[in-house]
Amino acid sequence: MCGIVAYLGDKDAYPILINGLRRLEYRGYDSSGVAMMDGGVLNIQKCQGKVSDLEAHVGSQGMKGTAGMGHTRWATHGPPNDINAHPHRSTSGDLALIHNGIIENYAAIKEELMHRGHTFKSDTDTEVLVHLIDDIQRSEGVDIAEAVRLALVSVVGAYAIVVMDRKEPDLLVAARKSSPLVIGIGDHGDHFVASDATPIVEHTKNVVYLEDGEIAVMDRVNGLKVRNIKNQVKTPFIQELEMHLEALEKGGYDHFMLKEIHEQPRSIRDSMRGRLNVTKGEVVLGGIKDHEQKLVNAKRILILGCGTSWHAGLVGEYLFEELARIPVEVEYASEFRYRNPIVGEDDVVIAISQSGETADTMAAIELAKSKGATIFGICNVVGSSIARVTGAGSYTHAGPEIGVASTKAFTAQVTVLTLMALMIGQRKGTINSSQFHRLIHELDSIPDKVQQVLLKEPQIQYIADIYKDAGNALYLGRGYSFPVALEGALKLKEISYIHAEGYPAAEMKHGPIALIDEAMPVFVIATKGASYEKVVSNIQEVKARKGKIIAIVTEGDQVVKGMADHVIEIPDTLDPFVPLLSVVPLQLISYHIAVMRGCNVDQPRNLAKSVTVE
Ligand code: M6R
């Protein structure tokens, strides 16, 4: 959600912070701010708007100092404005704090502090925390690190914070609970703190991922010290980042989303690399190999996720049921966590998350774990909280996804689920040897086929131009294509703000058909395969009501071509792999419609890339 970056060292901090904020802006972009220590003065500058607005607000001379911190906000408590922007300052004026997360008991703490004479400027929960630390520091006579620890003992909620104290200018204090924080250790004794590694990678590859309940103190003299909220000393585990700087750049594309759509032949290949061996005729997923038997013997698989990851999970349901003959339930993590779900030791849970930080998914995992289920993670971000808490699982290896609308993460998640289903199916014997070889050969050809779909972009752009002013859109698919219909609708609504619904094609007649008139574009995935004839009938039903059909069809299809207003051809493939191809034109159509409507494609309104609050 919000983005945090901080620096302590011997370099000018301001350019490091601003550059870091630009890299983190995908996490939140309604306001931003910077605090810098400059000759005994704690200087805070902040304002509503983008990081570029903050730069304009600060002016071309920048800010001075070699220690500082920056924040980009996604509003929870209080609207996006200058006052609610972080950093927040304490009553004494000595402390500044930035925060990602939610302090759930902020109202009670605020009331208590008001009785003690504190006054508040903002509507945020964050400001309460900086006043609380300040109050404890003064009343207990403790240093800033201890005051932070004591304050966090009484806090309920999720937080990643960085605190600066004017009286202790040579240190930064950072802490986390349920919101990620990474510390970078530079070559010259300098330290970086950030919500994720993207602002750090250009400075150092040595990082420490803070664990829940840990507090880090970075000191110019004593380096990095970590302890936990119970005051136990912890030894920081330094690891090397695998991320590359060029993965964080647009690489000549107008938007990250477009770049990420075009990266899919490569990212799908990377998801299969070292796992699919066509010559040997095997699928091996290293991260779950040791627990393979658990999957093979699973009586039921539960898949948990949110948003696009949930859609990937739905594709997984079809894959596991068809190829491995295991019953699957796919749950919204946000619903699962607040039920009293029937789950136990015989259950296998697969949690899917691009960011690996989604609060609902994290909480659902904890719940399933507490009931004894075996948990596997499918995450994109290496070292993320979900990846670490699940222990076993597979990274998708799609590379950093910066565009808020998920694209290459979806196809990478589906690829990993496909590999899992194939692996289990082969081990269980639910797919025979010739089927298995046919399937893996076809899977191996998918990256090249995605490349062929991408060549359709000019035609897709032409179609986008025709429907860019639509007020509503319907997406229909059956079987493996139903989740793709949901995903297509989500892509359109989140970046172009056009209302869109995804439906199983046959469900249309049970209600949504009432919406169809000559102004309604209906995107139908009508590829050759198990439900082709049925979908053709559904297209007829739309046409009879004058709806406009944009159909994704298998190359060479003449039947749908004769009925649809537009067809986008994709290469022929086996049913289980259709989602990996058919989603691509839908991603592109959403992208081009959004661009034509003048929308901010990479940072759509109200959204954030990683949703670390409930
Ligand atoms: O990082 P996660 O995969 O856990 O995120 C889940 C959703 O928040 C995410 O997929 C969201 O729906 C995207 N904006 C979709 O494009």
Ligand 1: centre distance to CA 384 (Å): 14
CATH architecture of 3-247: 4-Layer Sandwich (3.60)
* Span 579-611, pLDDT tens digits: 999 999 999 999 999 999 999 999 999 888 878
Backbone angles phi, psi at 98, to 5 degrees: -120, 150
Name the CATH superfamily, with its identifier, for domain 252-453.
Answer: Glucose-6-phosphate isomerase like protein; domain 1 (3.40.50.10490)
Ligand 1: centre distance to CA 241 (Å): 23
Ligand 1 nearest-atom number relative to CA 407: 16
Q: What is the mean pLDDT of residues 166-183?
A: 94
Q: What is the mean pLDDT of residues 527-542?
A: 93
Ligand 1 nearest-atom number relative to CA 306: 6
C-beta 384 within 6 A of ligand 1: no
Does 252-453 match 3-247 at the fold level?
A: no
C-beta 257 within 6 A of ligand 1: no
Ligand 1: centre distance to CA 104 (Å): 23
Strands 521-526, 548-554: pairing is parallel
Ligand 1 nearest-atom number relative to CA 609: 14
Strands 392-395, 374-379: pairing is parallel
Ligand 1: centre distance to CA 96 (Å): 31
C-beta 396 within 6 A of ligand 1: no
User: 488-492 contacts: CB < 8 A, separation 24 or more?
Assistant: 488/523, 488/525, 488/583, 488/586, 488/587, 488/589, 488/590, 490/307, 490/308, 490/311, 491/405, 491/407, 491/586, 491/587, 491/590, 491/591, 492/586, 492/589, 492/590, 492/593
Q: What's residue 247's pLDDT?
A: 80
Q: What is the pTM of this model?
A: 0.87
pLDDT for 391 beyond 80? no
C-beta 66 within 6 A of ligand 1: no
Residue to substitute in 315, 411, 586, 611 for testing ligand 1 pocket (most ligand atoms within 8 angstroms of CB): 611
CATH architecture of 455-601: 3-Layer(aba) Sandwich (3.40)
For the chain, the structural domain boundaries read 3-247, 252-453, 455-601
Mean pLDDT of all residues belonging to the chain = 95
Q: Choose, from 110, 449, 493, 609, the residue flagged as catalytic.
A: 609
* Span 308-336, pLDDT tens digits: 999 999 999 999 999 999 999 999 999 99
* Span 285-305, pLDDT tens digits: 998 888 889 999 999 999 999
pLDDT for 530 beyond 90? no
C-beta 531 within 6 A of ligand 1: no
Q: Are 416 and 274 in contact (CB under 8 A)?
A: no
What residues pair up with 548 in beta bridges, in sequence order?
521
* Span 378-389, pLDDT tens digits: 999 988 889 988
Q: What's residue 249's pLDDT?
A: 84
609 belongs to the catalytic site: yes
Ligand 1: centre distance to CA 306 (Å): 6
Beginning with the edge strand found earlier in the chain, give each strand of the sheet holding 223-228 in spatial order.
88-89, 95-103, 157-165, 171-177, 214-219, 223-228, 233-234
* Span 253-278, pLDDT tens digits: 999 999 999 999 999 999 999 999 99
Residue % of the chain over a pLDDT of 70? 100
Q: Are 529 and 575 in contact (CB under 8 A)?
A: yes
C-beta 398 within 6 A of ligand 1: no
| 28 confidence band (pLDDT: 50, 70, 90) | confident
